[in-house]
Amino acid sequence: MRRWNGWGDEAQDYPLNEVARGFLRERVGQGSANRDASLESVLAGVAPSRLANGPFLTDAASRAQHARGQSYPDWLALRYGKLGPVADAVALPTSSEEAEAALAAALKLGAVVIPYGGGTSVVGHLDVPVSDRPVVNIALGRYNKLRELDERQWIARFDAGTPGPLVEAQLRERGFLLGHFPQSYEYSTVGGWVVTRSSGQQSLRYGRIEQLFHGGRLATPRGVFNIGGLPASSAGPDLREALMGSEGRLGLLTEVSVRLRRLPTHEDFHAVFFPTWDLGCEAVRHLAQADLGLSLLRLSNEVETETQLALAGHEKLIAWLRRYLKVRKVGEQPVMLLVGTTGNHREVLRLKREALAICKQFRGVNTGRAIGKGWAKNRFRGPYLRNSLWELGYGADTVETCVGWNNATATMRAIEEAARSLFAAENEKVHCFTHLSHVYRQGCSVYSTFVFRAGGDYERDLERWTRLKRRLSETIVAHGGTISHQHGVGRDHAPYLAQEKGELGMDLIRAMAREFDPQGQMNPGKLFA
């Protein structure tokens, strides 16, 4: 059963032992456990629907269930029972025809439509606007089948609502794999990946969604638009690229064709430690530019390395590691690089040899596969940590960007410094740490996590987060970074998009949306105001 006010399945958690708790107390302060609002009280507060007696579900539970995503404001709203605006109705189509019929019916009612995939947005893609018009969620959670698999052309067509595990399970049976593994993988959907221009943990091998999205069927207010479906073309602008990142503004994506790989037979993740951030960062740049064909490069900075080891709470392993790194002269503040090698047996051996040779030039010390195995096992469990933290009285959020190599370190330091100092006047500490996890020949993503004390006061928590988000977004934009490398724009990042795209670029995006959706009924307020 999925949690209604937190991340993931209720049967799964991310326990923190005393070592981990002590670390948090030291870095952030003593938290105090939060008391959450009950689901009953939340449902009791849901306003009457303006679309009663229509073709859609209008019960409070269905509407509340689709009202929020996983942004920090969403989180606070759910935990404090301050749900805010809720859609008037929910459609749960199980086929392309039903989805298109739901869209047509909603538009005919003059409603605003919010497409809802897995509900994992962390930037407000699902925010329900306060509107004179009624609001309908078209939720694709029951629309999740593999419809066609071309084993000769390596193309699969999925229902847009298919979440990660169902994508891979349906492909695995036939010996194929998509390879798109965002941290939200358990719930996020193939359609959501496309419209938010998503990127998975192993994009280094498998590509971003841009490289995986073959074509699709988009239901727009002006009719159905079939898009893409060719291996390559020079015939005019690539309209798949207009759809990717359109965040619902162009229509409702109902079918998605993707480009596949054969299932690899071997995969390893090696943990390599470097004495300093600068050495690790240079190693990663050289690895990225060597273009070996690795499947993962993920460099944690000093604090993230330390934090990961502490939160894992595995004292013996840590002690062994510290001794080993001391012997190998890596020093007291190591940074950790995970190196993913995927393919057949021979490829994996070759990739390991070539990657470690480059690491060695930068004094990297390989500690083998034990840590990497743990990472792989828990790769989608990160978000569960947020539940555990909250129960201990801590909030957590992340920001991320992508910059050129010349800016990576400065951007990271500026983000962390801004966060650490922001609440000093209030005597509140922010624990923050960063990794680079998506690398390109020209630059890399920068992904920072923040942990701070929270709980007890909705207004105060939201105000602090708002200040933090604004400060960090301004810092990112000031360093020439994109406002998002992998989370998208939604409502939270919309104020910063123009600085990246330019006013003419914003005009171009608005012109496209207007062309398909002249009445502005498709997910208004997201991507641009």
d(CA 52, CA 237): 43
As given in the structure block, the two tokens for residue 436 are 């680079």
- Virtual CA dihedral for 383, 385, 386, 389, nearest 10 degrees? 180
CA 172 to CA 511: how far, in whole Å? 41
Helix spans in 207-312 (H): 209-212, 240-243, 277-290, 302-312
Task: State yes or no: residue 327 binds its own copies (CB under 8 A).
Answer: no
Residue among 21 and 501 whose Cβ is closer to its own copies: 501
| Residues numbered 462-491 forming contacts with its own copies, rule: CB under 8 A | 481-489
Would you state the structure tokens that stand for residue 337, as one six-digit string? 């690089």
Polymer length in residues for the chain = 529
Q: Is 118 annotated as a binding residue?
A: yes
Candidates 55, 110, 223, 456; binder of its own copies (CB under 8 A) is 223
CB of 392 to its own copies, least distance (A): 31
Convert 228-266 to b/e letters by CB count within 10 Å (16 or more is b).
beeeeeeeeebebebbbbbbbbbbbbbbbbbbbbeebee
- Measured from the CB atom, the residue of 259 and 386 that comes closer to its own copies is 259
Choose, by CB under 8 A, the member of 463, 507, 519, 529 that binds its own copies.
507
- Is 198 among the annotated ligand-binding positions? yes
- 223 Cβ contact list (under 8 Å, min separation 6): none
Residue from 403, 436, 454, 522 that binds its own copies (CB under 8 A)?
403
Which one of the spans 19-27, 33-41, 137-145, 260-268 is the region binding its own copies (CB under 8 A)? 260-268
State in angstroms the smallest separation of the CB of 3 from its own copies.
26
251 carries a ligand binding annotation: no
Residue 276, annotated as binding a ligand: no
Spatial separation of the C-alpha atoms in residues 289 and 16, rounded to whole Å: 38
Q: Which of 68, 259, 386, 464 binds its own copies (CB under 8 A)?
A: 259
Considering the candidates 72, 447, 458, 496, report the single residue annotated as catalytic: 447
Tell me whether residue 117 is annotated as binding.
yes
Closest CA to 526 of 515, 510, 503: 510
Name the minimum Å distance from CB 165 to its own copies: 22
In the bound state with its own copies, the residue whose beta carbon lies nearer, of 96 and 246, is 246
Q: Does 225 help bind its own copies (rule: CB under 8 A)?
A: yes
Q: Which of 102, 126, 128, 155 binds its own copies (CB under 8 A)?
A: 155
Where residue 442 falls (left for φ over 0; alpha for ψ -120 to 50; beta otherwise) is alpha
Q: Secondary structure of the chain: what % helix, strand, coil (to 5)? A: 40, 20, 40
Residue 46: both structure tokens together: 């849901």
Residue from 16, 28, 227, 414 binding its own copies (CB under 8 A): 227
* Candidate segments 13-21, 162-170, 420-428, 508-516, binder of its own copies by CB under 8 A: 508-516
Residue 199 labeled ligand binder: yes
Tell me if 424 contacts its own copies by CB under 8 A: no
Residues 427-446 that bind its own copies (CB under 8 A): 438, 440-445
C-beta of 383 vs 455, nearer to its own copies: 383
- How many angstroms separate the Cα of 104 from the Cα of each of 77, 101, 133? 31, 5, 15
For residue 89, give the 3-state DSSP assignment. strand
d(CA 6, CA 9): 9
Site for its own copies in 92-121 (CB under 8 A): none
CB of 221 to its own copies, least distance (A): 11
The site for its own copies, by CB under 8 A, has a size of 81
Strand partners, 256: 158, 216
Q: How many helices (H) and strands (E) does the chain have?
A: 19, 17
Helical pair 277-290 and 345-361, crossing angle rounded to 10 deg: 140
Site for its own copies in 270-299 (CB under 8 A): 285, 289, 291, 293
Q: Say whether residue 345 binds its own copies (CB under 8 A).
A: no
Q: Between residues 200 and 455, which has the closer beta carbon with respect to its own copies?
A: 200
Tokens of 398: 């992340």
User: Smallest gap, in angstroms, from Cβ of residue 90 to its own copies?
Assistant: 27
The CB-of-102 to its own copies minimum distance in angstroms stands at 20
Q: Select 266 or 350, whichever has its Cβ closest to its own copies.
A: 350
Q: Is 447 a catalytic residue?
A: yes
Stretch near its own copies under the rule CB under 8 A, chosen from 68-76, 244-252, 271-279, 450-458: 244-252
CB under 8 A: which stretch of 108-116, 135-143, 232-240, 466-474 binds its own copies? Answer: 232-240
| Rounded-to-integer distance, Cα 339 and Cα 269, Å | 5
Among 35, 174, 460, 514, binds its own copies (CB under 8 A): 514
- Tokens 């470690």 sit at which residue? 356
Q: Where are the alpha helices (DSSP H) in 200-249?
A: 203-206, 209-212, 240-243
Sign of CA dihedral 204, 205, 210, 216: negative
- By CB under 8 A, residue 222 contacts its own copies: yes
Contact 497, 401 (CB under 8 A): no
Burial class (CB in 10 A: 0-12, 13-18, 19+), 44: exposed
Q: Site for its own copies (CB under 8 A): which residue of 68, 180, 197, 453?
A: 197
Instruction: Report, as residue numbers or ranges, the catalytic residues.
Output: 447
Summarize the annotated binding site for FAD as residue ranges.
115-121, 196-199
Summarize the annotated binding site for substrate as residue ranges.
386
Summarize the annotated binding site as residue ranges.
115-121, 196-199, 386
